[in-house]
Structure 1
């Protein structure tokens, strides 16, 4: 005889599991596109500034691309869920 009063656990709904997996995929895909857009915008801005100033060396492209990589990593880290 079972003296345990706990309820048996119900199996997880496959649709709920798939929905959670899809939601996670969409979230991280959005973060990837945000990073791509941030870095692309920084590089594009650097190229345009170098063309405008007629620089021999692509100084602005280098500076803005590195800055945009740092900014996209900062945004990525801030978007991660906090673990308590």
Structure 2
């Protein structure tokens, strides 16, 4: 009987490379979606606050947008792998 390639203890090198590339792609995609969600929530919250207060100028939208951009960049930098 032939040994099963998928159940062996030693994975093949091309498979290992593909897995590493896939995991980094998934990691950075998740970071991108997190940034998008953070900025989107900041903008949405600012719009709702401006509507609630009846502001003529979108003050809260600007403030919360900038805060959301700053916090998403901070979270992105913290999630980068540390170099040895």
TM-score range, shorter chain: 0.7 to 0.9
Q: Quote the residue 1:25 is aligned against.
A: 25
**Between Structure 1 and Structure 2, how many residues are aligned?**
73
* SS in structure 1 of the partner of residue 56 of structure 2: coil
Normalized against structure 1, the TM-score is what?
0.85
Distance in 2 (CA, whole Å) between partners of 1:73 and 1:29 is 15
Q: Quote the residue 1:48 is aligned against.
A: 48
Normalized against structure 2, the TM-score is what?
0.85
Quote how far apart the aligned CAs of 1:37 are. 0.2
Instruction: Spell out structure 1 runs of 4+ moving beyond 3 A.
Output: none
Which ranges in structure 2 are unaligned for 5 or more consecutive residues?
Answer: 1-11
Distance in 1 (CA, whole Å) between partners of 2:66 and 2:57 is 15
**RMSD (Å), alpha carbons:** 0.8
CA deviation profile, 1:29-60 (whole Å, cap 9, x unmatched): 00000000000000000000000000000000
CA deviation profile, 1:47-75 (whole Å, cap 9, x unmatched): 00000000000000000000000000000
Distance in 2 (CA, whole Å) between partners of 1:40 and 1:71 is 12
Pair member with larger Rg: 1
